[in-house]
Structure 1
Amino acid sequence: MREWIRWQFGRPTAADVLKRLVRRLEEIGATGTTVNEDPPEIHFTLNGVQMHSHLTHLVRDLLRAKGGRARDIEFDRYLEGTMLRPIGADVPELSEDYASVRARLVPLLRTRADMAKSALDLANALTQDEAALTRASNQTPFRPLVGDYVAMLGLDTPESTARVAQGMLDKWGVSFDTAFDDALDNLRGLPEDLGWQQIAPGLWQGAWNDSYEPSRLLLPDVIYRSGVAHPVAMVPLRHVLLVADANDIAGLALMAAMCKQLRQEHSRWLSCRPLQLVERAWQPFEAPEPLRPMFQELISVEDSEDYSAQKRLLEQRRPQEASGPFVGAVKLVQFKDSERVMSYSVWPDGVDTLLPLTDLVAFASHDKPDQAVIVAWADAVRIAGHYMQPVDGLHPPRMRVNVFPNGDEQAQLRAVKAV
């Protein structure tokens, strides 16, 4: 009864969500169901197929929903439209020719971190033999845009958009470049609907209402149709595109504030890294000095979340990899004499560690574990970079460190400590 009351009128717990999910799955014949609360995930077998799902986004969305009816709708949408939809259910049979799917191709804007998380998730779900057999066909080809942003292909369906993997292109007998050009043409031909809307003084939002708003970054002429002379764009969510002028301090501040609000209200983010359109090419945008702490905070939080998701996935690797290196965490700190939020990681003495790239590094020695020496990342690389081994295949990147700086190097680190 208490669980029902929380669901209908209060705030359900993660355990409430998992119990409801287990009951529903067992009703439709799922067996071997196991759950984990932190992080929330579920494993089960249905119709002879072993399945698993990470539930962090679902739990967050249900906790934010207002009232039982809204939670029921979100719960059913996720169960039927995401969890129980077989892989490739929205994709036409691969035997279909390219002509039958060409008109449904769309470009999707994503980040390298997003792609890397998907790859890790898939690798965790497969055995080593399965991964070897499916690696090539499941790779998602992409086109770099700028910085962390990439563009890939999606296949539009009434209920969702499926990523186009290399195996699908091979079956269709078409190159990625040809399919991508066709996808751009399809995007350009979508209805304009409301187009650009000025939502506040100096701030515009794309209102095509088709969930492909961020993809318009790939069409510079569409960006200029906003009427903004020096466009700076942000895409905090997969259906939100914001634009302000690079010379408008007030408009840029509004855009950053709106991105921060959206990230607090939603769990499915895209990126808050701002881009500036110079002629017809995007480049990273360096915020003017008064706004730099505000924009930097957004990026620091984004990096921290990406590293947290990566850490969780790396720690879920199979038992034979349990003896691998410790996966370091990213922490955020705001100094009293500055508005800027900075990230830091810990380089522990005597521990084989996958070290994330952060603003600061705390060197924690055996001799003085409570007196870590904190230095800027650049100084850590200059003094102890020869101990850092880049880790292939990870994004955001990590460095493997299994040697602690010697006495002379520790003295150099203390001489440049940041705090």
Structure 2
Amino acid sequence: MFRALFDTLFRRTPTEEGFARTFIKAARASGYAEPLDYLADEFRLRYGDSGYFNLHNAYRDYLNADKSRKADVLASYLRALIDTRNSTAPQPLEQVRPLLRPVIRNLAMLEEIRLHHVRSEGWDSPCPLAWQPFSEDCVTLLAVDYPDTTSTQTMGPQQDWGITLEQALAIALDNLRDASPDAFEQILPGLYQGAWQDGYDTSRVLLPDVLQRVPVLGQPVFMMPSRDVLMVTGDKDAEGLRQMVELCFHALENGRAQSSRIYTYQDRRIVPFQVQDGHLQARLGDLQRLLHHGLYSTQKEFLDKIHEAHPEDIFVATHRLYSDADNPGSSFSIAAWTEGVFTSLPKTDRVILVQPQADGSAQTRMVAWHEVESLLGELLSKDGELYPPRFRTLGFPSAEQLSQLTPMD
């Protein structure tokens, strides 16, 4: 039923508003009778008294999907809406205990939840979130594994369960171990990909013994560029490492971004893998820029809406990504710092310093971020606890300070 319905509804590329309208129509056609209100400026649906269903991922995944898969993508999100609505009712621990799973997510997921809260409640209103640290860019969260969707418990275990987040994650990890037969497939010589396809492939990095059984050259090292892609190779396999990094670009552009880092195990603990090869380090830098570009773009949208709801005279600078003509295949990021404009700067490779002139023109110079930090650090302050990080400008460099900077082409 879903496929025929969506094939009819989505013959053209929809706008955000059109997508939301059609999504609601599809929900009604499937029997969802409860109120659904579209919040256009937040691009999400409100159901019940305080339930929200974000449309950002559904819209992006639909646009990115091949024509043959678009109906399946929409059907999966519609089932997720129904399951999410059903899962809001309190459930006893005995009922959900076998369904608990750990999930790994980029910090930006929690940041989006927090910024949604800030927009409606203000910066000073507490937004309780429950997670365990995984790495500099990821966290481990508790989830409930329903038949058609994963319900992430961003606030941790229900209070009436009577257990802590640590205890709940221990149960979740045991459940995941029981559901983890060996399921890696070799996609290139020495390079393997998780093939469980149950929504928890990347979660299995929390089970070191599972990855230790993969027949790689040396110790296993892994990447999880998107939520559904886990790749493993050996630390002694130079070609496997190179291929793994290159494939991550495709995975990152076609999935929900998770991490641009390479990890390994040390005494069963997950730690960053130290890359020695200069070319591989450069490619990892390009991968991180690509990931951050998407995160900064979404973050700017949220911050602009927050500043509309809670007026503040600050310009949220855009994170721009460019190809490096001198190094084919590589990239660099840029943001603009304009004299007289109070600005929230993303952390970029380069900064354009802009001085508007009386005749409407502007004098500009581009400098490296490391010089901005070392020579102009007194003019920057960290912009709260934002992720990815931003820095607020406190004035503009003096003529003397400008003369100390090294202009870039």
Shared fold (TM-score greater than 0.5)? yes
CA contact 2:141–2:154 (8 Å) conserved in 1: no
Q: Indicate yes or no: 2:352 matched with 1:389.
A: no
Cα distance, 1:5–1:72 mapped onto 2, change above 3 Å: closer
* Distance apart, 1:127 and its partner CA: 4.0
8 Å Cα contact 1:300/1:342 also seen in 2 = yes
Distance 2:173 2:362 in 1: 55
Q: Cα–Cα, structure 1 residues 256 and 103, in superposed 2: closer, same or farther, change >3 Å?
A: same
Q: Percent sequence identity over matched residues?
A: 27
For the structure 1 residues 75 and 110, does the alpha-carbon distance in structure 2 shift closer, same or farther, using more than 3 Å as the test?
closer
Does 2:83 correspond to 1:104? no
Residue 310 of structure 1 and its aligned partner are, at CA, apart by 0.8
Task: State which drifts further: 380-389 or 313-322.
Answer: 313-322
Distance change (3 Å), C-alpha of 1:46 and 1:60 = closer
Q: Contact 1:141–1:152 at 8 Å: present in 2 too?
A: yes
Counterpart residue type for residue 107 of structure 2: R
Cα distance, 1:164 vs. partner?
2.4
Opposite residue 347 of structure 1, the aligned amino acid is: W
1:17 alignment partner in structure 2: 19
1:189 to 1:324, Cα distance in 2 relative to 1, 3 A? farther
* 2:43 corresponds to: 41
Task: State the secondary structure of the residue aligned to 1:363.
Answer: strand
Gaps of 5+ in 2: none
Match of 2:111 among 103, 116, 140: 116
Instruction: Give the equivalent residue in structure 2 for 1:296.
Output: 285
Please report how far the alpha carbon of residue 366 of structure 1 lies from its aligned counterpart in structure 2 after TM superposition: 2.5
Amino acid at match of 2:194: G
Distance of aligned partners of 1:18 and 1:164 in 2 relative to their CA distance in 1, 3 Å threshold: closer
Which of residues 382, 387, 395 in structure 2 aligns to 1:403? 395
| Correspondences of 1:135-150 after superposition (within 5 Å) | 135=126, 139-150=128-139
Count of paired positions: 396
- Alignment CA distance shift 1:160-1:5 (3 Å): closer
How do 1:83-94 and structure 2 match up within 5 A? 89-90=86-87, 93=90
> Structure 1 residues 53 and 165 mapped into 2: Cα distance closer, same or farther (>3 Å)?
closer
Q: Which whole-Å deviations, capped at 9, do the CAs of 1:33-71 have from their partners, x for residues lacking one?
A: 5646xxx8256x666x4776543433333334444x743
Decide whether the 8 Å contact of 2:252 with 2:291 is kept in 1. Answer: no
1:179 and 1:70, CA in 2 relative to 1: closer, same or farther beyond 3 A? closer
Q: CA deviation at 1:19?
A: 4.7
Choose which of 236, 257, 260 in structure 2 pairs with 1:272. 260
Q: Please say which of residues 317-326 and 6-15 is displaced more in the overlay.
A: 6-15
The alpha carbon displacement at 1:359 in A equals 1.5
Matched, 1:249 2:238: yes
Partner of 1:232: 221
CA contact (8 A) 2:100 2:171 kept: yes
Which shifted more, 298-307 or 146-155?
146-155
Q: Is this contact kept in 2: 1:112–1:395, CA < 8 A?
A: yes
Q: Which has the larger displacement, 109-118 or 73-82?
A: 73-82
- Aligned-pair CA distance for 1:117: 1.8
Q: Is the 8 A contact 1:60 1:267 kept in 2?
A: no
C-alpha distance in 1 between matches for 2:220 and 2:36: 53
Amino acid at match of 2:385: G
Deviation at 1:205, TM superposition (A): 1.2
Greater CA deviation, 209-218 or 313-322?
313-322
Aligned counterparts of 1:233 and 1:174: Cα–Cα separation in 2:
32
Residue matched to 1:61: 61
CA pair 172-324 structure 1, distance change in 2 beyond 3 A: farther
TM-superposed deviation, 1:80: 4.3
Tell me the alpha carbon deviations over residues 358-386 of structure 1, each in whole angstroms, 9 at most, x when there is no partner. 11122112249644222221210111111
Q: Once superposed, what is the RMSD of the aligned Cα atoms? A: 3.2
Per the alignment, residue 178 of structure 2 pairs with 189
Is the 8 Å Cα contact of residues 224 and 259 (structure 2) preserved in structure 1? Answer: yes
Distance 1:345 1:313 in 2: 18
Aligned amino acid, residue 13 of structure 2: P
Q: How does 1:328-407 map to 2 (within 5 A)?
A: 328-339=317-328, 340-367=330-357, 370-407=362-399
Letter in 2 for 1:71: K
Alpha-carbon distance change, 26 to 46 in structure 1, aligned in 2, over 3 angstroms: farther
Q: Is the 8 A contact 1:169 1:176 kept in 2?
A: no
SS at match of 1:374: strand
1:22 to 1:241, Cα distance in 2 relative to 1, 3 A: closer
The answer for the alignment partner of 2:70 in structure 1 is 71
SS in structure 2 opposite 1:362?
strand
For the 8 Å contact 1:272–1:302, the answer to whether it is kept is yes
Q: Displacement of 1:319 after TM fit? A: 4.0
Letter in 1 for 2:366: I
Instruction: Give yes or no for the alignment of 1:259 onto 2:254.
Output: no
Higher mean Cα deviation, 54-63 or 238-247? 54-63
Task: Kindly indicate whether the alpha-carbon contact (under 8 Å) linking 2:334 and 2:351 is maintained by their aligned counterparts in 1.
Answer: yes
Mapped partners of 2:40, 2:259: distance in 1: 30
Q: CA deviation at 1:109?
A: 0.9
- Could you tell me how far 1:179 is from its partner in structure 2? 1.9
* Distance of aligned partners of 1:400 and 1:176 in 2 relative to their CA distance in 1, 3 Å threshold: same
Partners of 1:219 and 1:26 lie apart in 2 by 41
1:176-201 CA-partner distances (Å, limit 9, x unpaired): 22222222222222141x52221211
Q: Which amino acid aligns with 1:257?
A: E
For the pair 1:204 / 2:192, whether they are aligned, the reply is: yes
**Alpha-carbon spacing, 1:66–1:102, altered in 2? closer, same or farther (3 Å):** closer
Deviation, 1:262, is 2.1
Task: Indicate the SS of the match to 1:101.
Answer: helix
Aligned partner of 1:114: which letter? Answer: M
